[in-house]
């Protein structure tokens, strides 16, 4: 699978940005939920834009969230409808997942809708379906592992300036209080080290 994915067009399969520009992207999966306004408040406090890969079913339950993400200058991507692995779905079911979530998100400023497969599970078939729908596949290069680390200080250490490299795409999840608590530490550390924090679309724009 890795060999096949390496042959995908670079502008449509993104997992990191340029290594010679001190710029990184914060990305958050699995929203929106009740913590979303607090995440947005933290990011706004530091003047930082991020990319949110949202789930269709949660977006359906919180239809105003998309406009709020966009109003605050963030990028929206799809994370499927209900977090099923794309590799476990039939081609028809996958297309349905993508279409339903796309309809709930609506038009996005960057034109193409970015998609991040749940769990990063993707093979040539799934990639071909996403590309055929015109999507950009957005992966990551640094996993915070916030799904297994509940200590904010330890989580922040995994994303410290001496760990993060220029061009990195950092993976987080909205559904954790400890990620929310660690976020100011992560942002302050990276900004203090001279990193620019941008959306994935802006990370590869130049």
Triad 95, 98, 103: Cα angle to 5°: 120
CA distance 177 to 111: 32
Do the beta carbons of residue 171 and residue 143 sit within 8 Å?
yes
Tell me which of 82, 83, 143, 173 is the catalytic residue. Answer: 173
Tell me which of 29, 30, 146, 168 is the catalytic residue. Answer: 29
Contacts of 30 (CB under 8 A, 6+ apart): 53, 55, 58, 79, 83, 173, 174, 175
Tokens of 108: 């996005």
Is 176 noted as a catalytic residue in this protein?
Answer: no
Is 202 noted as a catalytic residue in this protein?
Answer: no
Just list the catalytic residues. Answer: 29, 173
């Amino acid at each position: 699978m890795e060999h096949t994915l390496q042959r995908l067009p670079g502008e449509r399969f993104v997992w990191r940005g340029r290594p010679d520009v001190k710029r990184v992207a914060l990305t958050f999966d699995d929203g929106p939920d009740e913590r979303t306004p607090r995440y947005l408040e933290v990011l706004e406090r530091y003047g930082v834009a991020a990319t949110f890969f949202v789930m269709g079913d949660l977006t359906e339950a919180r239809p105003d969230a998309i406009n709020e993400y966009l109003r605050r200058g963030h990028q929206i991507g799809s994370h499927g409808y209900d977090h099923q692995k794309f590799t476990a779905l039939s081609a028809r079911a996958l297309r349905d997942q993508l279409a339903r979530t796309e309809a709930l998100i609506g038009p996005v400023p960057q034109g193409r809708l970015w998609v991040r497969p749940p769990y990063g599970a993707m093979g040539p078939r799934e990639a071909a379906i996403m590309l055929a729908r015109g999507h950009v596949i957005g992966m990551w290069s640094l996993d915070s592992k916030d799904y297994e680390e509940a200590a904010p200080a330890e989580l922040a250490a995994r994303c410290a300036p001496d760990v993060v490299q220029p061009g990195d795409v950092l993976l987080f999840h909205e559904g954790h209080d400890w990620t929310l608590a660690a976020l100011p530490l992560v942002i302050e550390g990276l900004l203090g080290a001279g990193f620019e924090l941008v959306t994935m679309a802006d990370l590869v724009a130049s």
